[in-house]
Amino acid sequence: MPSGKRARQQRRTAAATAPPPVRSKGVGGARARQASPRALAIAGGVVAIVVIVIVLGVVLTKGSGGGGGGTVSASDMQGLGTTGSATSQNALQGATEANDLFKGIPQKGLMLGNPNAKVEMEMFIDVQCPFCQDYETTKLPTIVQKYIRPGKVQLQLRPWAFIGGQGSQSFSGRLGLIAATFQSKGFEYAKVLYDNQQTENTGWLDGRMMASIAASVTGLNLAQWRADTNSSASQQIADRVDKLATKLSLVGTPTVLVGPTGGKLTSVADPAHEPTLQQTEQALDAALANS
């Protein structure tokens, strides 16, 4: 497996030769899968067999951590210990960097930074989104060091299920991130996740992967994290984020909003494209100048 630095360099090289990125249309977008006409015409007896197979698959995999079920099982936690550590043999690539980036910065729930900061940055992300991965790994570290660590800006994280439909890993995978926020470790969890992100909608973010990410976050109580991941409390927070995104009529991830804390926030970029570091810094500097 390539190092985190080498993997990121490979992604940048690939991106340099690819067409300009336009973000996923998300749920119901142009890439949504459609039923095959031939499949719809299959005889009733064959359809019945398919239904039985599907039902059996759901029963057998429920709680196993596979797919988008939204749960982490006891077997997913095997061999990971009781407390997360960036330096353990179970830690994923980028774990040390992720933990160091946020070390010493106040966290409470989905908020990072000085709670009394006059400027607020709100970031809607999808755990499967490759553009969110780019923003989180190549742009956010600069924002953290320049604006959040000094106490000038507070960051509100919004884990939004944007890619795939109900039951996808955008819905289930973010529950591990939300659960980590209950122990004030959500931003470390998100960074490790993005450092190890794989291709969207391929089933990579299963229960074992979620648990491995948690085991890479220093100081995270893994038993408590698993209980919180599977709890209704995490699901309720996820549902509120989805409703907020709908209320704001957001159309893509990542979406970054900036403005006075508690006031009106404005998107820093064209909603159809990933915000640049320059756009984010300009928006934050303008908000700070007016605060």
The predicted-structure confidence for 63-121, as pLDDT tens digits, reads as follows 333 334 447 999 999 999 999 999 999 999 999 999 999 999 999 999 999 999 999 99
Domain that holds residue 212: 38-289
In a domain, residue 108? The reply is yes
pLDDT at position 26 is 56
Q: Could you tell me which residue, 46 or 194, shows the higher pLDDT?
A: 194
Residue-wise pLDDT for 147-196, tens only, equals 999 999 999 999 999 998 888 999 999 999 999 999 999 999 999 999 99
In a domain, residue 245? The reply is yes
Listing from the earlier edge strand, what are the strands of the sheet with 255-260? 107-108, 111-112, 153-159, 119-125, 255-260, 266-267
Percentage of residues in the chain having pLDDT higher than 70: 76
In a domain, residue 186? The reply is yes
In a domain, residue 272? The reply is yes
In a domain, residue 26? The reply is no
In a domain, residue 148? The reply is yes
Q: CA–CA separation, 175 vs 211, rounded Å?
A: 11
Residue 23's pLDDT band (boundaries 50, 70, 90)? low
- Across the chain, mean pLDDT equals 83
User: Taking 50 as the threshold, does the pLDDT of residue 134 lie above it?
Assistant: yes
Number of domains in the chain: 1
Q: Angle CA(144)–CA(149)–CA(155) in degrees, nearest 5?
A: 55
Percentage of residues in the chain having pLDDT higher than 90: 73
In a domain, residue 60? The reply is yes
In a domain, residue 25? The reply is no
pTM (2 d.p.): 0.78
Residue 110, domain CATH: 3.40.30.10
